[in-house]
């Protein structure tokens, strides 16, 4: 099964004059019972945060929270002693576990553009923990490659670790070029196009669109034009949750 969801059909939210978000799944005041999660992927938000604004201290529990910075900076502070500045090319993973609070603020003048993804963990009752990595995934050396950003596969190196049998990739494919991801029919994949245009298993996908794939053995990504995208590979259900 391959399902295209155009940008025009996704939920757009605005908070005051400081936050513009696209919600790929039900979140906050947007609820669609047919669009709650995709395997263990529960939240996928594309946020644009104006300068000197952000999210004050707030709690999480029993969730793996991943932040990917596309542009600008975001300052993170939490209740277990971490205070870091996330910059473009950085990836952050928070294991909320038994309880965790944090804040995320854009303390600069320029807009911060970030992705936030939440995953149901593969085990309950984990101790809260935090990881921050500079993967520099937007570097041109990764052209026509899938760059793993966060994963539950311990065989992958230099990647943030996720307590879920899932992997998030960043991709940059040139016009006329192709990247393939081998997967399994028991898994699911979601592709969200950031810029440009792609053929995903022969389905045309444009910037802001998403495509969800099930029961596929290969995800084929062909650049109709030069494109950047996020690919999330997940199990159909998360074991032990």
Same domain for 89 and 39: yes
The CA distances from residue 215 to 4, 93, 184, 186, 229, in Å, are 15, 28, 7, 6, 21
Same domain for 209 and 182: yes
Domain end position, chosen among 134, 153, 183: 134
Mean per-residue pLDDT for 49-60?
93
Whole-number pLDDT of residue 227:
96
Q: Each residue of 110-155: pLDDT tens digit? A: 999 999 999 999 999 999 999 999 998 987 788 999 999 999 987 6
Give the residue numbers spanning the domain of 35.
11-134
- Residue among 86, 15, 26 at smallest CA distance from 48: 15
The answer to the question of whether 46 is labelled as a binding residue is no
Same domain for 98 and 21: yes
Whole-number pLDDT of residue 238:
67
Mean per-residue pLDDT for 164-187?
95
Same domain for 126 and 16: yes
Q: Each residue of 34-46: pLDDT tens digit? A: 999 999 999 999 9
Domain end position, chosen among 134, 157, 180: 134
Residue 237: pLDDT over 80: no
- How confident is residue 240, by pLDDT bands cut at 50, 70 and 90? low
Whole-number pLDDT of residue 139:
79
Whole-number pLDDT of residue 153:
83
The answer to the question of whether 60 is labelled as a binding residue is yes
Residue 241: pLDDT over 60: no
The answer to the question of whether 107 is labelled as a binding residue is no
Whole-number pLDDT of residue 228:
97
Q: Which residues make Cβ contacts (< 8 Å) with residue 68, sequence separation at least 6? A: 90, 91, 114, 115, 116, 117, 149, 168, 170, 230
- How confident is residue 73, by pLDDT bands cut at 50, 70 and 90? very high
Same domain for 183 and 130: no
Residue 207: pLDDT over 60: yes
Same domain for 230 and 187: yes
Average per-residue pLDDT for the chain: 94
Whole-number pLDDT of residue 119:
97
């Amino acid at each position: 099964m391959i399902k295209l969801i155009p940008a025009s059909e996704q939920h757009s939210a605005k908070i005051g004059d400081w936050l513009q978000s696209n919600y790929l799944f039900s979140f906050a005041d947007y609820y669609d019972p047919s669009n709650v999660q995709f395997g263990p992927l529960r939240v996928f938000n594309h946020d644009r945060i104006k300068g000197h604004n952000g999210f004050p201290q707030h709690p999480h529990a029993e969730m793996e929270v991943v932040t990917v910075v596309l542009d600008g900076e975001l300052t993170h502070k939490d209740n277990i002693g971490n205070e870091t500045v996330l910059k473009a090319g950085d990836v952050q993973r928070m294991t909320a576990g038994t309880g965790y609070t944090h804040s995320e603020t854009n303390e600069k003048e320029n807009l911060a553009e970030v992705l936030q993804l939440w995953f149901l963990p593969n085990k309950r009752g984990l101790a809260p923990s935090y990881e921050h990595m500079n993967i520099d995934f937007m570097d041109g050396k990764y052209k026509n490659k899938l760059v793993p950003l966060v994963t539950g596969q311990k065989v992958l190196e230099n990647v943030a670790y996720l307590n879920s049998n899932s992997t998030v990739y960043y991709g940059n494919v040139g016009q006329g070029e192709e990247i393939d991801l081998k997967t399994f029919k028991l898994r699911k994949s979601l592709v969200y196009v950031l810029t440009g245009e792609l053929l995903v298993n022969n389905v045309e996908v444009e910037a802001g669109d998403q495509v969800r794939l099930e029961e596929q053995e290969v995800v084929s990504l062909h650049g109709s034009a030069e494109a950047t995208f996020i690919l999330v590979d997940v199990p159909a259900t998360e074991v032990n949750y």
